[in-house]
Structure 1
Amino acid sequence: MKYFYFLILLFPFSSVIAQPNCEAYKYYGDTLKYEACKKAMGIKGHYQFSKEYQTLLDESIEIDPTFDYAYWAKSIAYLKSGDFVTWKKLIDKAVEYNPKEHLGYRGWCRYQFFRDYKGAIRDIEKLDNFVDYDIGQSQNGTYHLNIAKGLCYKAIGEKEKAIAILEKQIKLNEQENFIGANDYLHLGVLYLETEKFEKAIELFIKQSENNELAENQYYLALTYKKLDNLNEYKSCLEKAKELYIAGKKMSDPYSNPMDKIYLENIENEIKTAYKNGYN
């Protein structure tokens, strides 16, 4: 089965949201936006932190203060540099002038970088209400935005709602034969946390078949522990350690993914197993 596992780094964000077609503005008679667009396209080849890059976008905005692309492109450097206040002002302008294009991006950034779960939910749900087509993937390509929304609901304590959202989107993903890299893992952890242990095992096995991770074996071990299957518990912990050391673990260059674990977690659980005589 294929799974959606692109890792589109933050740095080439400008290639993720498509550049506007300036000629389309000209075709529809919007000469102001056409000129603003042509000016903005001058950023190609310039470093995002450079004076030239920012100046060209400022000039584009001066031509047409409603040209959303210029605000979005300008905001990238501020997100990278950690100036989140300026980033927020700029991306809010982009959303104001073109919500369909930028709500998903802003919602994902709220989730990934700021842990603003309620804000992310609002943006993703608002986008879903705006459009009559699939709302698409997260900015880094790892998650469908509905999966991200479900994880946000988990983060604010609404686990049953999170489960319903993940179940629905995973079913849709399966129909397209296009499963997210961590989808089964996250749903499995939710089942574990809500004491649906058999369902959790089913999802962790599916995760193993699609994209085996140290986290997957770790949570599978905890599930077997809950069911007093101590042989499988210990075996999965050993597999989790092997996978972690081999680098087969959840990763993100800019934030810690939800349900991520560390080698210390595995080793502490192994120590607990031996201390309690699970040999």
Structure 2
Amino acid sequence: MAKSWPLFLSLLAVGRLGQCQGPATLKVPAGDCSSKAYQDTLVARYLDRGAHRISYLSPQWGQYCDSLIAACPNIAQAYQQKAMPLIKCGDYAQAFPLVDKAVELDANRWLAYRGFLKCIFSKDYTGAILDFQRVAKLKPNGREMDHTYPFFEGACELELGHYKLAETAFAQDIALQRGGDGSGQLHFNSLFYAGVVAARLKQYPQAQAYLLQCLKAYPQHPEANYYLALTYQALGQPAVARQYLEAAQRALIGGYRLNEDNIFYTNYPGQITEYEVTQALKDLRG
């Protein structure tokens, strides 16, 4: 499993100020914006051969996006790409109107993305659920950021404290991954969250089954070790609980995390730090 990048935060801090400022617009050629071929030419020029060849932390990223918008204001990807660095800077007030514009222009492509941003970044759980329910009608059984739509609905319901709804959503998520023949491979974080929901419902044997499956796929998963420890503690088995808490602690010290792409920018539901593990170990000692 990949470890976190030790220099990431320092690099982000260096580039944050410049990227969050509004850059000037480059000159653009005139053309027919109703033409898909012309749109593709502009995307190739300003994104593929422009912004995507530099860091999104550079002010030039915004210049390329502004130029694309100036040339053709009906290209949804231009607004999404302009919003992306702002999201990662935490400037949601400026970012979401741009994402909303992308959704307005191309809901089929960007509605699930907006739901993901609401769920993971801005913590607008109710808004995220509505987006995923809407996009499910447009693209049944679709996926976003390597997960099914019910995965994100389940994460939102979990954070809202709607545990039975979360349980249903993660059951749908797991069923979709398994497929019709039941042979599909499950994402370890689906198993993790299903385990957390079961634990919140005090269904401890079921929670342990999910979390152990998660750890079979990803033994260093800090959160799975931590929540599994809590189930053993709830069942009056402190010695076993301590083993899993210590495993969670070793994993965190070793740099292991939930292993989702965006954990460098925001916390995922149920994500822990060494503080939670240390406190849990102290509680075991009485």
Gaps of 5+ in 1: 12-28
Percent identity of paired positions between Structure 1 and Structure 2: 23
Cα drift, residue 239 of structure 1: 2.5
TM-score, normalization by structure 2: 0.76
User: 1:1-279 alignment to 2 at 5 Å?
Assistant: 32-43=35-46, 44-46=49-51, 47=54, 48=56, 54-55=62-63, 57-132=65-140, 134-138=141-145, 141=146, 143-174=147-178, 175=182, 177-212=184-219, 213-250=221-258, 252-275=263-286
Counterparts in 2 of 1:247 and 1:42: CA distance versus 1, 3 Å: same
In 2, distance between residues paired with 1:258 and 1:52? 33
Say which SS state the counterpart of residue 234 (structure 1) adopts: helix
Whichever residue aligns with residue 239 of structure 1, its letter is A
In 2, distance between residues paired with 1:135 and 1:217? 30
Cα drift, residue 136 of structure 1: 0.9
Whichever residue aligns with residue 159 of structure 1, its letter is Y
Counterparts in 2 of 1:32 and 1:59: CA distance versus 1, 3 Å: farther
TM-score, normalization by structure 1: 0.78
Contact 1:39–1:59, Cα closer than 8 Å, also in 2: no
In 1, distance between residues paired with 2:279 and 2:60? 52
Counterparts in 2 of 1:33 and 1:224: CA distance versus 1, 3 Å: same
In 1, distance between residues paired with 2:63 and 2:242? 59
Root mean square deviation, CA, Å: 2.8
Counterparts in 2 of 1:248 and 1:40: CA distance versus 1, 3 Å: closer
Whichever residue aligns with residue 45 of structure 1, its letter is G
Contact 1:32–1:63, Cα closer than 8 Å, also in 2: no
Cα drift, residue 129 of structure 1: 1.0
Cα drift, residue 50 of structure 1: 6.0
Give deviations 1:169-197, integer Å, cap 9, x for gaps. Answer: 11322335332231111111111111111
Q: How many residues were matched structurally? A: 248
In 1, distance between residues paired with 2:69 and 2:249? 52
